[in-house]
A and B are shown apart, each in its own frame.
Chain A
Amino acid sequence: MSQGNQYKGFAGWLEKRLPIISPADHFFNHYPTPRNLNYFWNFGAIAGLLMGLMILTGLVLAMQYNPSTLHAFDSVERIMRDVNYGWLLRYLHMNGASFFFIAVYIHIFRGIYYGSYKGQREVLWILGVVILLLMMAIAFMGYSLVWGNMSFWGVTVITNLFGAIPVVGDTLVTWLWGGFSVDNPTLNRFFVLHFLLPFVLLAVVGLHVLALHQVGSNNPLGIDMKGPQDSISFHPYFTMEKLFFIGAFFTIYFLVVFFAPNMMGEAINYEPANPLSTPEHIVPEWYFLPFYAILRSIPDKLGGVIAMGGAIVILALLPWLDRSPIRAARFRPIFQVMVFIFVIACIILGFVGAQVPADPFTIYGVEVFFGWSVLTVGQIFTAAYFGFFVLLPFVPLFERPRKMPRSIAEAIDGHA
């Protein structure tokens, strides 16, 4: 028995045979959106767009790239010099990774500040942490493909981290390399994984969005929508607002691509990989710096590795560590201060990760923190980073929440 459906023409015909029209319709046209979303709610969409752009530029780059230690570096230079618009593709891809991380880091900050991991959003949040881990793996392996000297030594140092694992460490590292050092087998497998994992990422992002549509968006007040007076239709209101903001964000991105494409890169990566010559100072890409700083702050090799991994994984525990029923930081005076300290710790750790441990700590050449060494400053802010998570469960015991409106509509219109 074939039933009619509400869709007309081809859509109705297809829906009868393949039920994809109604979920898509629900997805795009029946997603009640809180009225009070602010600009922080744009970074998810931006991250998604950038992911699409990374896959697109990555695919065409891969058609020109040669994943062999003998030719990798030259093939990237060939892309830059000889391939039509190759420089543009590569600079879009290279800086796209940076802006992808900018968008995702702001997106995560938004989640923490407004308590978006609460209210049945645990799975949504954990999928987000999985996305972050995947992005890191992808970006790390992508950077190795260039086969510059920083690529080579970055891969060497990071893969060696696994050697800290007791008993199996050394065997594991040899297995990862497919040899006794970072070499052709390593580059080959990294290329395959760098190609594959973005599509895994795409699937996880799909689940992330599915979970979002199941639970609904949080909002700056952190209060659930109680009825139609609290929401507006996503389209056209938020579509327009997002288009505007996306335009602004991409303008900045393109300014960097066209006028300062190497601003966030390391000059040493324009030298071919040399297994005999370690650069004076190995620095990862900026988006890894806070975690690299945490690694180096712990004087023990294994301890450092655990702390670095833990710094990311602990994010997944937030829904259980935060025991307050109130979501938005604006109603939680202590939590609000803690989030700001946490963000400052992340930023300072970023500076720490870029500097030599024994030197005095500076920010753009200025000695802050009384000339303490980079190592000391790193240890203090590593403690602050983890302190945030350790103190979190106890905050509700002594925090007095600020007065909250009863609904979103009340906060905006003055009546519910």
Chain B
Amino acid sequence: MAEQVQDDSKRDFLALSAYVTLGVGTVAGTLGILSSLTPSADVLALASIEVDVAALEPGQAVTVMWRGKPVFIRRRTAAQIDEARGVALGALKDPQTDADRTIEGKEEYLVVVGVCTHLGCVPKGQKDSDVRGDFNGWYCPCHGSHYDISGRIRKGPAPKNLEVPEYAFLSDTNIKIG
């Protein structure tokens, strides 16, 4: 009977290739499943909208839906713009100038996502009859966050300013959001 020769390297190869395949397969499969739960192509396709703001008078505001969220568009009066510019950066929790939050030459229009940066409620202040909070902008009733006329957080639990979405003026009165 021939002497039994042990060549462990073959077994090691089998074990190693099995583990590697299992490992790579598990990771790839898990990533695929997790990724299937992220926003799908049709949701992403709805990701930009166009809004005509020709009818908006100074002092008026409209709310439009974008990506399932409200977007506040406010055409501000000269006095309101002055008020927004007059705030010292030191007084802000999330320091940003009004110029950082508007498009040059179009400072009249403030475009912000109408979702409180605390836990996602829609702040009040779009309607004339709404309470506007201590800083004459928006007020979130859920846990009491006050935003100013530039949409910046001034008081309350919200950590950040109302988000300014990516947007551009296609014409003088046509805004593309997203």
Contacts and interface: CB of A to CB of B under 8 A. Distances in A.
Contact of B40 (A185, A278, A299): A185
Contacts of B141: 278, 280-281
A302 to B, nearest CB: 9
Contacts of A358: 144
A403 B34 CA distance: 58
Interface string B29-46: 000001001111001000
A156 B67 contact: no
Nearest to A155: B120
A180 B68 contact: yes
B164 to A, nearest CB: 15
Given A175-B34, A301-B157, A275 B70 contact: yes
- SS class of chain A's interface: helix, strand, loop or mixed? loop
A179 B43 contact: yes
How many B residues touch the partner, as a band?
Answer: 20 to 34
A281 B159 CA distance: 20
Given A278-B142, A301-B157, A156 B39 contact: no
Nearest to A158: B119
B157 A180 contact: no
B122 A277 contact: yes
Given A180-B39, A180-B68, A301-B157, A276 B63 contact: yes
Contacts of B43: 178-180, 183, 185
A175 B159 contact: no
Interface in B136-166: 140-144, 157, 159
Contacts, number: 74
A179 B67 contact: yes
Interface string B61-79: 0010101111000000000
Given A180-B67, A275-B65, A278-B141, A174 B38 contact: yes
B121 interface: yes
A160 interface: yes
Contacts of B63: 276
A119 interface: no
B29 to A, nearest CB: 17
A153 B121 contact: yes
A157 B43 CA distance: 21
A282 B69 contact: no
A276 B70 contact: yes
A182 B140 CA distance: 19
B157 A181 contact: no
A282 B122 CA distance: 12
B44 to A, nearest CB: 9
Contacts of B70: 275-276
A282 B118 CA distance: 14
Given A179-B68, A301-B159, A174 B119 contact: no
Most buried by A among B40, B115, B120, B140: B120
Given A153-B121, A179-B68, A278-B122, A296 B143 contact: yes
Contacts of A275: 65, 68-70, 122
A161 interface: yes
Interface in B79-104: none
A5 B176 CA distance: 80
A358 B122 CA distance: 19
A276 B122 contact: yes
Nearest to B140: A278
Interface string A179-200: 1111101000100000000000
Given A153-B121, A276-B122, A278-B141, 16 more contacts: A157-B120, A174-B39, A175-B34, A175-B37, A177-B39, A178-B40, A180-B39, A180-B47, A181-B115, A183-B68, A185-B40, A189-B37, A276-B63, A278-B122, A280-B141, A301-B119
21 contacts: A156-B120, A156-B121, A157-B120, A160-B118, A160-B120, A161-B119, A175-B34, A180-B67, A180-B69, A181-B67, A183-B43, A183-B68, A275-B70, A276-B63, A278-B142, A282-B142, A296-B143, A299-B157, A301-B118, A301-B157, A301-B159
Closest 6 CB pairs of A and B: A181-B68, A180-B67, A160-B120, A278-B121, A157-B119, A160-B119
